[in-house]
Structure 1
Amino acid sequence: MKFGVAYYPEHWPKEMWEKDAEFMREAHINLVRLAEFGWAKLEPEKGCYDFSWLDEAIELLSRYSIQVVLGTPTATPPKWFMDRHPEVYPKDRYGITRGFGSRRHYCFNNPAFQEATREIVAKVAEHYGDHSSVVAWQVDNEFGCQETTYCYCESCLQAFRHWLQKKYGTIDALNHAWGTIFWSQTYRDWDEIILPAYSVCSGADPINHGHNPSLTLDYKRFASDSVVAYQKLQIDTIRNFSAKPITHNLMGHFPEIDYFDLAKDLDFVSWDNYPEFPKRSFSYLDAAMAHDLMRGTKGKNFWVMEQQSGPCGWNVLSDTPKPGQLRLWSYQAVAHGAEAILYFRFRACRFGTEQYWYGILDHDSVPRRRYKEIQQTGAELKALSDWIVGSKVMAETAMIKSYDNLWSHQIQPHNVHFDYQKLLLKYYSTLAENHLPVDVISIDDDLAKYKLLLLPAFNLMNSEIKVKLDRYVKSGGTLVLTFRSGTRNWDNTMSALTIPGEFSEMAGIEVEEFDSLNRGRQVSVATVVGSAMASIWCDIIKPTSARVIGDYTSDYYKGEPAITVNDWGNGKVYYIGCDLDPSALDGLMRYISDNSGVSPLLARPVRGVELIRKENGGRQFLMALNHNSHEVVLDLKGDYTDLLTKREVHSNFVLPPFGVGILV
């Protein structure tokens, strides 16, 4: 088990380094991440490289049996380089240059920056490629952070035109796919193509610029592909000098990059997890789903490259983690598939933007409660390493996340209150709160191993996906569809088929009409599990072969079907034509999971508690996580031993506030 921390020796006098290493060893830390922001110190002038300080730091750490993840320093191009190449600065949608003074001040498509990237990455990789203490590489840092995925500079314009030409082949094919006859937007050649920047109809909306939705979706795809290509440039450069595994630190639910695409070229995925963050409501279920998405990007276990270790923020601070929460969050990551935990950061920095981003130690370097809690966690995880490393989450249910559909919904969300990511989290949370583990996967993944598949608001469709889902259901799977599914083609134009389009036959329905609910309107619904309320969207359904399991009970469509189920081959397709309040959705999903043969890990759900069943080498175990600030009792219906306390457990298992159990 890798247990580590982000460390910045360049921020501290050398006289402090050895004491830091001693503190790390005493906390059972065996891995540090170094140098991901160190370009200006590694290359203080063009072509003048200085690795001596980093050599010294790595050598000192190795004497304390601490290994290194080495970051490529490209997230912070130094001032001397930017002065030589001001064209590297990205431009926002208003055409304003985003200048020096923070980080990520570069355009992914700029040729001068790509060449500079090759040079610095090659020098670092050549120097450390075979170093015995370097066990892995991190490419750059948090691609897209500070919303730098979308750039509107000349380099991006030229790269976008080339991307489109490769995709469509001819300008006539592009015009046809985008429907550019609308508003006389027809393009005569590739040089007329624009970026969806600020326009007459843009207004203040940072996402929907009033442009052609097909243009905007292709631009989002292009921007994501640009990041993937830039990462591949670095991976290929490292591979010329090193065979060590390569990762990048993703950001959970970050929406601007297709993480399934980004993960393909990586040896393993890592991500940065901050459960407590200022100005953001973030529940333990947000983190749980993000962990499962990270595991789902490659279908394998992952690392947490930055795990919160204290209150954090740039200008304002989050809540301070309560006693037990740092340990709990670490075990939550492990439960969902983490094989390494690295805390951010070792010590709070006394200068720069992140002075309020507290680490394991405060500015005064005195080890206090947080240090001792992480020390305890490190000792426990070291003892449990054989159970953790190589373990697998045992899930019979999967939910599809589609970045293409996410972007389409961003561009035209149908209703002011509709949010694709929130809808996914709502369905995920309902299952998790009923102790039903969920894999979060791509539509390109293998579906056959799942009994239950959720496909919320899968709006963009094509015939290939239809064939795949048809095969899944006919083979015995249960598919759950929702409102806003199958209304569009993959190029983001509206389908000419009756809603839900490609899904109609397998769902056994047609949507006669729909109602977008605005200005606080609500519609009541009667379902097989009780009453419900819809407040965003209502599809008025005409069954063709489906059975009705929910009707509207108010408004002009009172008595019309709202929720249906259809037998299709050996499986079933549920269509949920409206949003549902949490209580109603909870009951409906328990009904659906029961009928699909998926059993919860606890007969009576306990709110605020996660239960995850895992397997390692034929040995099964259960991880229990109490996110409540009060004690809970779990009725487990069996005899277990808690690996953490070595105590025997008979049926009722008591978990203290923010407590953890590992039961075999």
Structure 2
Amino acid sequence: MYFGADYYPEHWPRAEWESNALLMKEASINVVRIAEFAWAKMEPKEGVFDFSWLDEVIEVLSKQGIKVILGTPTATPPKWLSDKIEDIYMVNEFNQVRGFGSRRHYCYNNSKYKEYTAKIVTALAKHYKNNTNVVAWQIDNEFGCHDTVRCYCNNCLKDFQGWLENKYKSIERLNEEWGTVFWSQTYSSFEEIILPKYTVCDSAVSASGLNGRKRYSHNPGLLLDFYRFSSDSVVKYQKLQIDIIKNCDCNQPINNNLMGHFNQIDYFKLGEDLDFVSWDNYPNNEWGQNSMFSVSMAHDLMRGVKGKKFWMMEQQSGPCGWNSLGDTPKPGQIRLWTYQAIAHGAEGIVFFRWRACPFGTEQYWYGILDHDGIPRRRYKEIKQIGSEVERLSDLFVDSKVLSEAAIIKSYDNLWSHQFQPHNEKFDYNSLLIQYYTALGTNNINSDIVPYNIDFSEYKLLIMPAFNLMKDDILQRVENYVSGGGNLVLTFRSGTKEWNNSMTIKTLPGYFKELAGVTVEEFDSINFGREVQMFTEYGMGKVLMWADILKPISAEIIGTYASDFYEGEAAITVNSYGKGKVYYIGCDLEQEVLNKLLEEIALKSGIKPLIPNNIEGVEVVSKEKNGRKYIIVMNHNGYEVEIHLSGTYKELISNIDIDGKLMLNPYEVAILETNVG
């Protein structure tokens, strides 16, 4: 198993490279990622390539048994190149040029920049294709970071028009799909089509909404297609580099480091051309703290992108931020976060960064070592982790997370909800996290999957707020349920067609027969109002949305207890073929949802991994070659007692556990389940 750090030798004197490599080896580090921001050092002048320093550091590392992941440096085009290409920079929706001074300062659709991208990647690939110390490639770095997916320059306008012509074939069909007859927005040709820039009815600044403002006026079909096009532009730019590397006869696998819940790129599409995906995880930073289930869901999403193992390419190893710092990781937290990643499918762990940099924008971003390079507590903790991972590597590599439930994520639906959220308090990704949390709280694993896979391996499938809908998705879901699967639908499902126009079908649209209900009307709950609802699992508050349901064939299992729809159906269950469909017509408080999903899971044949639910404790089930084990993680800053059924072998300490497990703050246990 690869265990390593992100290393920037260009930031440090040559005389320190050997001592760095020795310290890495002592911590069981066997891989580093390098060079992803070093274009100016690789090509200091146009056409003058210098890889000698890179050759030297790779050789220094190899003497200590350390391999490298080599990054293409296209996230940071150098100043000479930025000056040469006049229109290289992105343009925002206010027609402001986003110029030099940071990183990611380029437009994906700039043909000149693509030419220079091809030159540097070709030179790099040809130079290192036979180097056995290079074990993988990374394309660019964090595509989309700093709101760099959607560009409004003339290059993007031209490419967007071509993208639309390729999709719709005729301008008449586009006008029909978008409904441009509304407000006389009909286009006569593809050359007339605009980008959704700032216009009348838009607010220039907003505390919430999209990219710091709210869009009120643009055609929803135009907006959705522009978001799809922008995401596809990133996918296309990535493929340009992948094809070059492969055409240079490089046999090393290729990855890209994603950003978890980042929402501007369709990660399922981005992952198609990659050999594996990695991602960058900072649970506690300048901008906030992530809940344990938010992090776990991001891990499971990364695993779901390709349905297989992933890497952590940047795992937090110190306090971090750009202008101020988040909390310092407490003793044991770095180890906990590492095992959390491994539990959910990570087969490579790379910590960011080896040593804090004394200059530049990220000088507050601490790593394994502080600025002075002296090993301290965090280094010792990572050294401990490295020793354990080295010993347990065979258990983790090629293991499988055992999930009987899955949650469907759709980027098309995410984008549609972003610019028309139905209610100002609604957030699609937050709803997914809420349902994921409900399963996790009940010690139930779940996968995060796209809508176009075979669902048959799951006993329970959840489609929160799946609003955009089309026939082929319906067919797939119908086959799943009629074959014995259990499906959960929620409010704001099926109200739109795939082109982002409202459906004229009776709500919930395509889901009507499956759910066995109609939505008679609904209530968007605003301005501090609350509605009471009742299920056999207790009373709860509805704070955002209420679908008022009329059962056709469904059974009522939850009702509203206040407002003008008191006594009307809020939650239903319908038998369909051999399976069941649950329709949850309102938002629920987390505690109520936890209890509801616990019951739904049990009725779907899913049992919790351990019998008792303890706040702050996470459990993941894994299997390799018939050998099953569970990883139990205490995210609390205090000791917890966990009651177990049966006898287990704890694999880190190699001791037997009978009936009761005590976990210290941020402690981890790996329990083999086939003992006794």
TM-score (norm 2): 0.98
Q: 1:184-223, aligned counterparts within 5 Å?
A: 184-203=184-203, 204=205, 205-206=209-210, 208-209=214-215, 210-223=217-230
Residue of structure 1 equivalent to 2:242: 235
Q: C-alpha offsets along residues 607-645 of structure 1, whole Å, 9 cap, x if unaligned?
A: 111111100111111111110111111111111111111
Residue of structure 2 equivalent to 1:528: 536
Residue of structure 2 equivalent to 1:587: 595
Native 8 Å contact 2:90 2:152 kept in 1? yes
Native 8 Å contact 2:139 2:238 kept in 1? yes
Partner SS, residue 290 of structure 2:
coil
Give the Cα–Cα distance (whole angstroms) in 2 for the partners of residues 496 and 281 of structure 1.
42
Q: C-alpha offsets along residues 364-388 of structure 1, whole Å, 9 cap, x if unaligned?
A: 1110000000000000000001000
Give the Cα–Cα distance (whole angstroms) in 1 for the partners of residues 130 and 562 of structure 2.
70
Amino acid at match of 1:299: G
Amino acid at match of 1:115: E
Amino acid at match of 2:74: T
Q: 1:537-548, aligned counterparts within 5 Å?
A: 537-548=545-556
Residue of structure 1 equivalent to 2:616: 608
Q: 1:241-390, aligned counterparts within 5 Å?
A: 241=248, 242-390=250-398
Q: C-alpha offsets along residues 424-456 of structure 1, whole Å, 9 cap, x if unaligned?
A: 000001110110000000001110000000000
Give the Cα–Cα distance (whole angstroms) in 2 for the partners of residues 234 and 288 of structure 1.
30
Amino acid at match of 2:422: H
2:233 to 217, 222, 226: 226
**Runs ≥4 in structure 1, deviation > 3 angstroms?**
205-208
**Is 1:480 aligned to residue 497 of structure 2?**
no
In the comparison of the two structures, how many residue pairs are matched? 664
Amino acid at match of 2:222: L
Partner SS, residue 90 of structure 2:
coil
Alpha-carbon deviation of 1:333? 0.2
Partner SS, residue 219 of structure 1:
helix
Give the Cα–Cα distance (whole angstroms) in 2 for the partners of residues 586 and 35 of structure 1.
45
Alpha-carbon deviation of 1:206? 3.6
Q: C-alpha offsets along residues 181-223 of structure 1, whole Å, 9 cap, x if unaligned?
A: 0010000001100000111111135454320011000000000
Give the Cα–Cα distance (whole angstroms) in 2 for the partners of residues 497 and 179 of structure 1.
17
**Is 1:563 aligned to residue 607 of structure 2?**
no
Residue of structure 2 equivalent to 1:164: 164
Q: C-alpha offsets along residues 533-592 of structure 1, whole Å, 9 cap, x if unaligned?
A: 100000000000000000101001001100000000000000000001111111111111
Give the Cα–Cα distance (whole angstroms) in 1 for the partners of residues 134 and 176 of structure 2.
52
TM-score (norm 1): 0.99
Native 8 Å contact 2:157 2:194 kept in 1? yes
**Is 1:38 aligned to residue 44 of structure 2?**
no
Give the Cα–Cα distance (whole angstroms) in 1 for the partners of residues 522 and 593 of structure 2.
20
Q: 1:440-479, aligned counterparts within 5 Å?
A: 440-479=448-487
Give the Cα–Cα distance (whole angstroms) in 2 for the partners of residues 153 and 332 of structure 1.
42
Q: 1:60-79, aligned counterparts within 5 Å?
A: 60-79=60-79
Residue of structure 1 equivalent to 2:409: 401
Q: C-alpha offsets along residues 266-324 of structure 1, whole Å, 9 cap, x if unaligned?
A: 00010001010123241111110000000000000100000000000000100000000
1:508 to 488, 510, 516: 516
Unaligned runs of 5+ in 2: none
Unaligned runs of 5+ in 1: none
2:604 to 578, 596, 607: 596
Give the Cα–Cα distance (whole angstroms) in 1 for the partners of residues 329 and 454 of structure 2.
39
Q: After alignment, is 275-284 or 81-90 more displaced?
A: 275-284
Give the Cα–Cα distance (whole angstroms) in 2 for the partners of residues 507 and 329 of structure 1.
39
Partner SS, residue 32 of structure 1:
strand
Native 8 Å contact 1:563 1:574 kept in 2? yes
Give the Cα–Cα distance (whole angstroms) in 2 for the partners of residues 372 and 580 of structure 1.
44
Native 8 Å contact 2:490 2:583 kept in 1? yes
| Percent identity over paired residues | 57
**Is 1:155 aligned to residue 162 of structure 2?**
no
Native 8 Å contact 1:325 1:658 kept in 2? yes
**Is 1:127 aligned to residue 135 of structure 2?**
no
Residue of structure 2 equivalent to 1:176: 176
Alpha-carbon deviation of 1:528? 2.2
Q: C-alpha offsets along residues 387-424 of structure 1, whole Å, 9 cap, x if unaligned?
A: 00000000000000000000000010000000000000
Partner SS, residue 436 of structure 2:
helix
Partner SS, residue 283 of structure 2:
coil
Amino acid at match of 1:43: E
Native 8 Å contact 1:529 1:591 kept in 2? no
Give the Cα–Cα distance (whole angstroms) in 1 for the partners of residues 554 and 621 of structure 2.
35
Partner SS, residue 269 of structure 1:
strand
Residue of structure 2 equivalent to 1:143: 143
